[in-house]
Amino acid sequence: VRSHVVSQEAALAELPLLKGTLDLLVLKTLSWGAMHGYAIASWLEQRSAGTLAVEDSALYQALHRLEDRGLVEAEWGLTETNRRARYYSLTSAGRQRLRTETTTWLRYTESVTSILALTSRIV
């Protein structure tokens, strides 16, 4: 049990909230298949119904960061309109990371949510 807690903390420390969140969202998006940067941006916009305001520059930084860590890999390809674009896809390490990060994230938000819900009742 204890070791589990420690690894959770380590994971949290490694991914500061906003950056980490964006990385996780990108990984999740790519789990649907290879996409270029703009497709990822529009996909996130649509899925969050515009609530997640992701700046494009941050997205590209995240993509390159993930590539640095070997979680995604990129390859040049063509869009539907025959435009050359860089397509990102998950590596097996990226897929693995997505699984663990999702679990961690869900547990984390669950506990935070439950605590926040509790305090609101007392107030």
Partner 1 sequence: MRYRRFLRLQARSREEIERDVDDELAAHLELRVAELIHRGESPERARAIAVERFGDLRGTREGLVLSARERSGRRRRSAWLDALRQDTVFALRGARRSPGHTLFAVAMLALAIGLTTGTFTVIYGALLRPLPFPHADRLYTLLSQDSTGKRIEQVSLANWLDWSEQNRTIQHSAIYQTGRLPVVTGNESSRVSATETIGEFFGTLQPNMLLGRGYTVADAQSEQRFAVVSEGLWRGLLGGDRSLSRPIVLSGRTYNVVGVVRAGYEYPAGTDVWVSRKYEREFGARRNWVSFTGIARLRDDVGLTDADRDLDAIAAHIRQSDPAGIYSYGVELRPLKSAIAGDAGRYLWLLQGAVGFVLLIACANLAGINLARGKRRTQEMAVRAALGAARARLIRQLLIEHVTLALLAGAAGMLIAWWSVRAVLLRTSDLLPRAEAITIDRGILAFAVVVALITGVITGLLPALQLSRVSLKEQMSGGQRGAVAGGRNLPGALLVGIEVAFALMLLTGGGLLMRSYRILLARDLGFDTSNVITAQIALGTVPEIHEVERYWETLLPSLRSIPGVEAVAASNWIPLGIGVSTFLDIEGRAETGGSGYRAISDDYFRTLGLPLLAGRVFDARDVYGGQRVGVISQKLADTYFQGVNPLGRRMRTPGMESFGGRSEPQWITIVGVVADMRQWGLAEEPRPELYVSYRQVPVHGMSMTALVRTRLSAANLMAAVRNRIREHDRRTPADLGTLAELLDNGLQHRRLTLAVLSTFGAIALALAMIGLYSLISFAVAQRTRELAVRAALGARRRNLLQMVFANAMAVVLLGVIAGLAGAAALTRLLDVMLVEVKPLDPLTLLVVTLCLLAAAALAILLPAVRAARLDPLMALRAE
Q: Determine the Cα–Cα distance for residues 67 and 5; give it in Å rounded to an integer.
A: 28
Tell me which residue has tokens 């994971």.
Answer: 11
Q: Give CA–CA dist 8/45, Å, rounded.
A: 29
Shortest approach of partner 1 to residue 58 CB, angstroms?
7
Query: What is the nearest approach in angstroms of partner 1 to the Cβ of residue 22?
Result: 13
User: Which of 18, 52, 58, 106 touches partner 1 (CB under 8 A)?
Assistant: 58
CA distance 7 to 22: 20
Please state the closest distance from residue 120 (CB atom) to partner 1, in A. 35
Please identify, among the stretches 4-12, 20-28, 57-65, 108-116, the one whose residues bind partner 1 according to the rule CB under 8 A. Answer: 57-65
Asked if 56 touches partner 1 (CB under 8 A), the answer is yes
Site for partner 1 in 60-119 (CB under 8 A): 60-61, 64-65, 67-68, 76, 79, 81, 83-86
Contact 73, 91 (CB under 8 A): yes
The C-alpha angle with vertex 69 and arms to 31 and 40, in degrees rounded to 5, equals 35
What the block records as the tokens of 39 is 């497709």
* Interior angle at CA 19, CA 17 and CA 107, nearest 5: 40
Residue placing its CB nearer to partner 1 in the complex, 56 or 110? 56
Residues that bind partner 1 (CB under 8 A): 36-38, 41-42, 55-58, 60-61, 64-65, 67-68, 76, 79, 81, 83-86
